[in-house]
């Protein structure tokens, strides 16, 4: 019985003479790029921070098909770490555009955006022109109202002065009234001319006196 108890108390050893083996630590799942490439994802993989294990495989498949994994890896290594996220987003967008349009790729999208920008610039210029015209009309209307208000007191002063002048001219002072002018035609008196013989006698005063005395007798 004592030998059996000591056998139970002693820890079991491994077949090689060591103690019991500990469970092995599981390795992290590979990133989407390494999963798409079917390779082991090593520590410090340049694709791991940007291509997750779930959706990263599909994104990296398009990138690898268009640009190639080695080329993308070299480009990311040349980019600073703080800006690698933007570079990965750009590469993924260009790859998807190239797969959607193998001829033009992202150029068609760029042209469409440029046309949209040009149309918006034209619309903005038209709105600015309409706004400028509206401001000019408002300024001219305000200026005309100011001029009208400035001229209105001067016109009232002139009208009052003319009324006063008319009242002053209608007053009669104490002098004699002017004789009314005849409305009809003016007749001028012409001297009566006697005959030639009488005219010659009337011009002699002595003959005229003798004739008067002879008529009285």
pLDDT digits (tens, 9 = 90+) for 8-27: 455 455 555 555 545 555 66
What angle, rounded to 10 degrees, do the helices at 69-78 and 56-66 form?
Answer: 100
- Find where tokens 């002053």 sit: 168
Residue 181 is predicted with a pLDDT of 55
**pLDDT over 80 at 83, yes or no:** yes
Angle between helices 69-78 and 84-100 (to 10 degrees): 150
Range in 27-36, 42-51, 58-67, 126-135 the model is least confident about: 27-36
SS3 label, residue 22 = coil
- Condensed to tens digits (0 to 9), the pLDDT of residues 91-107 reads 999 999 999 988 888 89
CA separation for the pair 196, 202 (Å, rounded): 10
Q: What is the distance between the alpha carbons of residues 2 and 5, in angstroms, rounded to a whole number?
A: 5
Does pTM surpass 0.75?
no
Mind giving me the DSSP string for 68-116? -HHHHHHHHHHS-GGGHHHHHHHHHHHHHHHHH-TTTTTHHHHHHHHHH
Q: How far apart are CA 41 and CA 30, in angstroms?
A: 5
Which range, of 23-37, 84-98, 110-124, 171-185, averages the lowest pLDDT? 171-185
The first and second tokens of residue 103, run together, are 């001829």
Domain locations in the chain as residue ranges: 32-104, 106-156
């Amino acid at each position: 019985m004592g030998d059996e108890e000591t056998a139970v108390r002693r820890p079991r050893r491994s077949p090689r003479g060591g103690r019991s083996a500990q469970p092995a630590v599981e390795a992290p799942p590979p990133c989407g790029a390494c999963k798409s490439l079917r390779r082991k994802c090593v520590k410090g993989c340049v694709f791991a921070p940007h291509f997750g294990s779930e959706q990263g495989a599909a994104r990296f498949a398009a990138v690898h098909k268009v640009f190639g994994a080695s080329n993308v890896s070299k480009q990311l290594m040349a980019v600073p770490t703080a800006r690698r996220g933007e570079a990965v987003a750009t590469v993924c967008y260009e790859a998807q555009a190239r797969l959607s349009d193998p001829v033009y790729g992202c150029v068609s999208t760029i042209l469409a955006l440029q046309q949209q920008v040009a149309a918006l610039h034209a619309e903005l210029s038209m709105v600015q022109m309409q706004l400028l015209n509206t401001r000019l009309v408002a300024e001219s209307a305000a200026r005309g109202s100011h001029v009208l208000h400035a001229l209105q007191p001067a016109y009232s002063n002139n009208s009052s002065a003319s009324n006063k002048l008319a009242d002053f001219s209608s007053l009669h002072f104490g002098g004699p009234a002017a004789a009314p002018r005849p409305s009809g035609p003016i007749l001028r008196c012409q001297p009566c001319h006697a005959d030639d013989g009488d005219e010659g006698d009337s011009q002699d005063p002595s003959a005229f006196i003798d004739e008067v005395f002879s008529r009285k007798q």
